[in-house]
Amino acid sequence: MNTITETRWLGQDIREIWFENSRIAGSFKPGQFLVIRHGETGERIPLTIVEVSDGRIRIIIQQVGYTTSRLCRLKKGESLGNVIGPLGHHSDIVKYGSCVCVAGGIGAAPLKPIAAELRKQGNRLTVIEGVRSSKYLILDKELEKIADRFILMSDDGSVGEKGLVTLPLKKMMEEGNRPDYVYAVGPPVMMKAVSVLTRQYGVPLTVSLNPIMVDATGMCGSCRVEVAGETKFACVDGPEFDGNKVNYDLLMNRLKVYADDEKHAGCDIGGDNAG
Amino acid sequence: MPTTRNTQDATSEEIMPVEPKKTPMREQPPAERTKNFDEVPCGYSEEEAVKEAKRCLQCKKPLCVEGCPVEIDIPAFIKHIAEGDFRSAIRKMKEKNLLPAICGRVCPQEDQCEIKCVLSKKHDPVAIGRLERFIADWEARQEEKSAAEKAAPTGKKVAVIGAGPGGLTAAGDLIKMGHKVTLFEALHKPGGVLVYGIPEFRLPKSVVEREVDFLVASGVKLELDYIVGKTSTIDQLLEEYDAVFISTGAGLPWFLNIPGENLNGVYSANEYLTRSNLMKAYLFPQYDTPIIRGKNVAVVGGGNVAMDCARTALRLGAEEAHIVYRRSKKELPARIEEVHHAEEEGVVFDLLTLPVGYIGDDNGWVKELECIKMELGEPDSSGRRRPVPIEGSNFRMKTDTVVCAIGQSPNPLIPQATPDINTGKSGNIEVDPATGKTSKKGCFAGGDIVRGGATVILAMGDARKAARSIDEYLRTGKW
């Protein structure tokens, strides 16, 4: 179980892994995640499931710290170690009408199954994908295929339009193409910027949060987030929440708790892109 | 001074002196042990164990057994120790308890078997817990281990959910009864609170491993990384298994619900202990999981878990570890032994003190805990005097790490995924206390998922009772 069957680099420091685990694959629904612990000394980290097929699971990992770097170095035939899941509530997706999915960086990975399900339910779908630069671009072809309309943005203009993901979203709102529903997954600062727009135009927003977790079964409370002023555990109450009510500043702050320890372990924690 | 035996069981011919004090157990000195995570009490030698066992009066109607939730034949195993027949002693023990190395260390014997000991009227009771630990540790050093004696196979299959003290006990009992048992565990290691919660210095993880290995050697199948309610549902399990025992524990920590609780540096006891114990963060960076090594650690709460957190903080290098508790010392729910160990190690007790808020610094880290002083008023529903805030007594204590050890609710995963299992107000699974039966046919439950936060041994007692009713259900088919 958990043997890797396929790996490839999708972009700089971004690795795709397919592995075998029929019992998790059999129970998975879009929006859910899993926890991986690699090796006897490994820490437990949450990762979103991108896709399942024939008892195999597809995950996408960005090297941002010690553990993700170790996972990215694994090869076909090796075991991922302990894999627990599927965890969290699945997305509650119905037909809303016109929807926009906003993906930032590695957030494209968790967003893909949600976008696919939105399309399956008969929604008109615009996908806006944003990346720092072309070398971090992932899943664009697949998202383009799912979407009725696909907009690509990059911070440096190396691919797609230059600018933030909120630019085309704002334009849609201002031009009167206000969507009925928005999904956003990406760095907290991006989700926060999206929520400013959706609140302003009164559009419902769902976001998927990925705070620090340990057991991910509700036991430890490490993943505390604040939604509408109330503390929630992202692992058992989420990972999806009303994006118009999330306290993003708190989320960003809590993601930095172990930043010094990551430095100690000789790694840089790229908190800005931890999707 | 030794006195003479004078009990219901002592005949005039056998009047002989009894040592009034328990044979002491050697411990690591406080100054040394706060620098390591090794076990604090060292255990009895064979000579010490025999000496202590000889204090037992061998009552004909032993009251100690009544005090034991798993009904160990206490005088019988102690008699074997007194005679130096350790092999027979461990066999006798394992007739009733497959986890003696654990129980000998973490059971509150002073409230259970030892409180009932006839000797305790005048002297120290027999050190039953220490003898239990001794005989289990003795066996671990022998090459030949006793295997569980099993009844003829019944062909029935039972799923036990949660490999904590309740699940391990149920699995052990059911395998002895001749059933096939699969033990499902959500974490990557079996043991539940014994591995994620109770620290190494109180219960070495090798001891838990040893007892789990014994169950596996006896035929229990272990499925790790398996979250019932997510990986599969109870209904799916019931397609394959004839009965299910749910012992998933109290896995949803409480916080104080006061301002600033989500500042960085504020932990639940569960997270603090899980990082340190299960994930071995005390060995970071050799192990990958980090933990905040605070200099001024405040632990809120007064139970065993709070003591574990404060003592862990010292071992992680804290200059000061405080217990912040709203009642007085007399009401501390922790075992006296744990309070004593904490005091010896230098834990500061801020009693009659209630936190009312956390104060953060500019970077979102906790820097102070605002508290109010309390005084004891009239007795409340628990019979303890109710703590009442003293108006205007607010003060702030400097801290960089706060651990909330104020209790927890039952884990919600199975109740959420299994609507036909009735639950109570606090999310606990409701059962018939005599049988452990839930509202769903074939499903039994016990331990903290039923009780909320209680003790290891009560979970084991529930499991024993439920195993008996599961056996009866499987043999008769009657629900």
Say how far apart CA A38 and CA A44 lie, in whole Å. Answer: 8
Best residue in A66, A220, A249 for a mutation probing chain B (most B CBs within 10 Å) = A220
Residues in chain A whose beta carbon is closer than 8 A to a beta carbon of chain B? 23-24, 27, 37, 41-44, 66-67, 82-87, 214-215, 217-222, 224, 226, 231, 233, 236, 250, 253-254, 256-258, 261-262, 264-265
What is the bridge-based pairing of β-strands A181-185 and A205-208?
parallel
Q: Answer whether residue B41 shows pLDDT above 70.
A: yes
Fold of A4-87: Elongation Factor Tu (Ef-tu); domain 3 (2.40.30)
> Which secondary structure element, helix H or strand E, spans residue A202, and what is its range?
none
Contact predicate A15/A7, CB 8 Å: yes
Instruction: Specify whether the CB–CB gap between B288 and B313 falls below 8 A.
Output: no
Give B6's pLDDT tier (boundaries 50, 70, 90).
very low
Can you give the pLDDT at residue B99?
87
pLDDT reported for residue B153: 95
Q: What is the pLDDT of residue A263?
A: 61
Chain A interface includes B209 (CB < 8 A): no
Fold of A98-255: Rossmann fold (3.40.50)
Find chain A residues with C-beta within 8 A of B275's C-beta: 214
Amino acid A132: pLDDT: 94
Contact B239/A at CB under 8 A: no
CA distance B218 to B221: 9
Contact A214 B188 (CB under 8 A): no
pLDDT attached to residue B426: 86
CB-closest option in A43, A261, A265 to B279: A43
pLDDT of A272: 33
Q: How many CB pairs under 8 A join A and B?
A: 111
CB A109 within 8 A of CB A50: yes
Which residue of chain B is at minimal alpha-carbon distance from A35? B225
Distance CA B423, CA B450 (A): 9
Kindly provide the ipTM of the predicted complex, given to two decimals: 0.92
Q: DSSP for A143-168, please give it.
A: HHHH-SEEEEEESSSSSSEES-THHH
Contacts of B427 in chain A (CB under 8 A): none
Q: What is the rounded CA–CA span in Å between residue B104 and residue B108?
A: 9
pLDDT band at B364 (very low <50, low <70, confident <90, very high): very high
**pLDDT confidence bin for B98, thresholds 50/70/90:** confident
Q: Mind listing the pLDDT tens digit of every residue in chain A (275 residues)? A: 899 999 999 999 999 999 999 999 999 999 999 999 999 999 999 999 999 999 999 999 999 888 999 999 999 999 999 999 999 999 999 999 999 999 999 999 999 999 999 999 999 999 999 999 999 999 999 999 999 999 999 999 999 999 999 999 999 999 989 999 999 999 999 999 999 999 999 999 999 999 999 999 999 999 999 999 999 999 999 999 999 999 999 999 999 999 887 665 544 433 333 33
Each domain of chain A, given as residue ranges in start order, spans 4-87, 98-255
pTM, two decimal places = 0.92
For the ranges A224-233, B61-70, B151-160, B318-327, the lowest mean pLDDT is seen at: B61-70
Q: Which residues of B touch A87 (CB under 8 A)?
A: 227, 230
Which strands form B320-324's sheet, in the order they lie side by side?
B266-268, B401-404, B296-300, B320-324, B348-350
Would you call B259 an interface residue with chain A, using a CB distance cutoff of 8 Å? no
pLDDT (average), residues B226-239: 95
pLDDT at residue A265 in the model:
52
Show residues of chain A in contact with B271, CB under 8 Å: 214, 220-222
How do residues B112-142 score in pLDDT, each as one tens digit? 899 999 999 999 999 999 999 999 999 999 8
> CA-CA distance, A46 to A84, in Å (whole number)?
9
- For the stretch B380-439, pLDDT in tens is 888 888 999 999 999 999 999 999 999 998 988 898 899 999 999 888 999 999 999 999
User: pLDDT tens for residues B235-281?
Assistant: 999 999 999 999 999 888 999 999 999 999 999 999 999 999 999 99
**pLDDT at res. B15:** 56
Rg (alpha carbons) of chain B, rounded to whole number = 23
Q: Give the best residue of B248, B271, B283, B403 to mutate against chain A (max A CB count within 10 A).
A: B271
B285 touches chain A (CB under 8 A): yes
Residues of chain B with C-beta less than 8 angstroms from the C-beta of A265? 285, 288
Give the pair of three-digit tokens for residue A225.
């987030």
